[in-house]
Chains A and B, each alone.
Chain A
Amino acid sequence: GENVEQHPSTLSVQEGDSAVIKCTYSDSASNYFPWYKQELGKGPQLIIDIRSNVGEKKDQRIAVTLNKTAKHFSLHITETQPEDSAVYFCAPSNGPGGSYIPTFGRGTSLIVHP
């Protein structure tokens, strides 16, 4: 099955700094790459995703970059704010021809200090 690793497991930044979280996967057939944000007391929610035919996608302060050759994709958050503090998960999956079943990384706890 897919092996997914996220780094770092914890990331502490000052408000206004940038944060980068990296997700490495093993299945070369993976072609859908989402990032989820989990706030305290809630379930994870999609914040951005990218598909394999695109190298980068941006939505205001967040962006995702994909390197299919090296089998990793990264979440970039610029101008961090205290409300960005949460746990972030990557969850690559494969398809068509594959199962479309996502495999979650272990999560990165982002702490933004005011």
Chain B
Amino acid sequence: EAQVTQNPRYLITVTGKKLTVTCSQNMNHEYMSWYRQDPGLGLRQIYYSMNVEVTDKGDVPEGYKVSRKEKRNFPLILESPSPNQTSLYFCASKGTGDQPQHFGDGTRLSIL
């Protein structure tokens, strides 16, 4: 089954404790992306990757890092999480050209 898998689905942690949210897709998609979703603000793009070893900042990249060492994986790293990063996070992937995005089921992060 074609899917985007995020882990963990839920995480409560404390300020400053490094965390990684994993994202994996099995559709051989070149493009992958991370979004955060906050009430009233819709989906805001954090980082995206057009292919392996190619990453670019989205609209709200501050406080986040990503890597794309393999085509299928695109982890989101919070080196020193802060409470304003409490949010619902989505990973997505798509094929080249005018193609729809496929989203994971989301990761709810709470930073205390």
Contact = CB atoms under 8 A, between A and B. Distances in A.
Contact of B42 (A34, A41, A89): A89
Q: Tell me what chain A mostly uses at the interface: helix, strand, loop, or mixed.
A: loop
A71 to B, nearest CB: 17
A101 B100 CA distance: 10
A106 B92 contact: no
Contact of A91 (B96, B97, B101): B101
Interface residues on A, range: 20 to 34
A106 to B, nearest CB: 4
Interface string A71-114: 00000000000000000010101011000111011110000000
Interface residues of B, number: 22
B98 A45 contact: no
Scoring B35, B97, B99 by chain A CB atoms within 10 A of each residue's CB, the highest score goes to: B99
A49 B100 contact: yes
B40 A106 contact: yes
B40 A100 contact: no
A57 interface: no
A105 B45 CA distance: 12
Contact of A95 (B40, B97, B100): B97
A43 B105 contact: yes
Interface of B: 4, 31, 35, 40-45, 48, 90, 92, 96-101, 103-106
20 contacts: A32-B98, A36-B100, A36-B101, A36-B103, A41-B105, A43-B4, A44-B43, A44-B90, A44-B101, A46-B101, A51-B98, A91-B101, A95-B97, A100-B31, A100-B99, A101-B31, A101-B48, A105-B42, A106-B40, A107-B43
Interface of A: 31-32, 34, 36, 41-46, 49, 51, 89, 91, 93, 95-96, 100-102, 104-107
